[in-house]
Amino acid sequence: AEQLSETLSLNKIQNRAGDVGSVAECPEFNPWKDRQCQAFVRRVIRSHLFQIIMISTVSLNAFLTVLWTSYKIRYRLYRVFEISEIIFVSICTSEFAMKVYVDPIDYWKDGYNMLDVFILIIIFIPYVLRKIKGKHYPYHNIAEGIQSLRILKLIPYSRGIRTLIIAVGQTVYTVASVLTLLFVLMYIFAILGFCLFGIVENGDLNNWGSLALSFFTLFSLATVDGWTNLQEQLDMRNFTLSRVFTIAFILLASFIFLNMFVGVMIMHTEDSIKKFERELMLERQVTLMEEKQVILKRQQEEVDRLMKTQSNVGKSFSELVEDFKKTLRHTDPMVLDDFGTSLPFIDVYLSTLDNQDSTVNKLQELYYEIVNVLCLMLEDLPKEKSQSLQRLEEK
């Protein structure tokens, strides 16, 4: 019995070792192949085709959402809307899974990725409410209404929109200070307006009857929307300080604080646009340098190949280069690092040509003047001399 138990335990150990070996040999658990798969998925996500597919999907879903608001079209194309919804949810979920698979840790550090997660949660809210609360849940319409936020998925795929968002984010602290000052100004004028024009006997209770109504009226004055009607109602009640109050608040709120708000936004937007343009220029320069390095490497390889074949073929290196030039086409790029192809030399050379042209024009004008003077001198000569000249010419 002891020998039997020992043999069974040895068999179990061997089986476990064999299982471990089979797991190690299994290709699914190969970390190298997993890294290769991650690199492949990363290239797919960063490809232009994938971005075009996502932009087209989100845009088409937004267009179908607009059609969905019509009850007649919704009734006729009910199946189309269902199928498009399934496709949209599948594509968004696949995109999320691919991005998390490529970078499971740093994915959650990016704000745009968190926006995608938020939109994905919004997409699944109606399905969860139908499953838990049923189709007749009273707040189900709100869940369907916030589905319009799906179009925000276009933001990560547009660098221009991201630049504007960065500009808005940079103005948060400055804008918060301006809005705080505007709120303090509105608070002071709201209490003044309530005390001056919110009198129970003969006051304008519809606009200044409470602090909340005073704030709302001051907001209308700050935006200069219908302020003349508000002033007419105060003039009808013969408030002597009403015009001074209205003009002072409009000057402070509309012409100072709101314009200050707009100016801050414009300044930060211009800075962000300039930074965006600099990044584009750097990317173009890097791309050009990479292309240049590739072309130089290819030319170097061709030269090395010619050097190697020179010993085997009875031709000189210059003859091989001439043969190589004959194989080139007019569309083949060439990288030249000579001084004659640099921009400073071209600038100097063109300016020199301009100076030469101007010099030639001046010399031509001088020649014309010399010819004209000679013609005048010939006309002033006496006739006898002119006849002697003719005789000489005849001879």
SS (H, E, C) 66-101: HHHCCHHHHHHCHHHHHHHHHHHHHHHHHHHHHHHH
> With 70 as the cut, is the pLDDT of residue 324 above it?
no
Q: Six-digit token pair at 362?
A: 């001046």
> With 50 as the cut, is the pLDDT of residue 20 above it?
no
Per-residue pLDDT averaged across 158-165, rounded? 78
Among the residue ranges 82-86, 123-127, 197-201, 356-360, the one predicted with the least confidence is: 197-201
Spell out where the chain has E strands: none
Q: Which of 156, 146, 107 is nearest to 123 (CA)?
A: 146
> With 80 as the cut, is the pLDDT of residue 91 above it?
yes
* Higher per-residue pLDDT: 351 or 219: 219
**Cα dihedral sign for 13, 18, 21, 23?**
negative
> With 70 as the cut, is the pLDDT of residue 312 above it?
no
Task: Give the pLDDT of residue 30.
Answer: 54
> With 50 as the cut, is the pLDDT of residue 27 above it?
no
* Higher per-residue pLDDT: 389 or 213: 213
> With 50 as the cut, is the pLDDT of residue 352 above it?
yes
* Higher per-residue pLDDT: 274 or 337: 274
Q: Is the pTM of this model over 0.75?
A: no
- pLDDT 10s digits, 174-215: 788 888 888 899 899 999 888 888 877 777 888 888 888 888
> With 80 as the cut, is the pLDDT of residue 17 above it?
no
Percent of the chain past pLDDT 90, that is, above it, reads 4
* 390 Cβ contact partners less than 8 Å away, ≥ 6 residues apart: none
In our burial notation (b when 16+ CB lie closer than 10 A, e otherwise), range 39-56 reads eeeeeebeeeeeeeebee
Length of the chain: 395
Task: Give the pLDDT of residue 276.
Answer: 78
Residue 340 CA from chain centroid, whole number? 38
Q: What is the DSSP letter of 147?
A: G
How far lies 94's CA from each of 20, 87, 138, 320, in Å? 32, 10, 31, 55
Largest pairwise CA distance in the chain: 157
Q: What is the DSSP letter of 27?
A: G
Task: Give the pLDDT of residue 208.
Answer: 86
> With 80 as the cut, is the pLDDT of residue 2 above it?
no
> With 50 as the cut, is the pLDDT of residue 18 above it?
no
* Higher per-residue pLDDT: 299 or 98: 98
Residue corresponding to tokens 């004008």:
365
Percent of the chain past pLDDT 70, that is, above it, reads 77
Per-residue pLDDT averaged across 368-383, rounded? 81
Q: How confident is the model at residue 258 (pLDDT cuts 50, 70, 90)?
A: confident
> With 60 as the cut, is the pLDDT of residue 14 above it?
no
> Rounded to 5 degrees, what angle do the CA atoms 99, 103, 107 make?
75
Mean pLDDT of the chain: 78
> With 60 as the cut, is the pLDDT of residue 371 above it?
yes
- pLDDT 10s digits, 98-135: 999 988 888 888 888 888 899 989 888 888 888 887 77
Contact yes or no for 193/210 (Cβ under 8 A): no
Task: Give the pLDDT of residue 24.
Answer: 41
Question: 97-101, long-range: CB within 8 Å, 24+ apart, which pairs?
Answer: 98/41, 98/44, 98/45, 99/45, 101/38, 101/41
Beta-carbon count within 10 A of 310 CB: 14
- State the Cα–Cα distance between residues 7 and 241, nearest whole angstrom: 108
Q: How confident is the model at residue 3 (pLDDT cuts 50, 70, 90)?
A: very low
Q: Which of 92, 95, 111, 117 is nearest to 41 (CA)?
A: 95
Q: How confident is the model at residue 39 (pLDDT cuts 50, 70, 90)?
A: confident
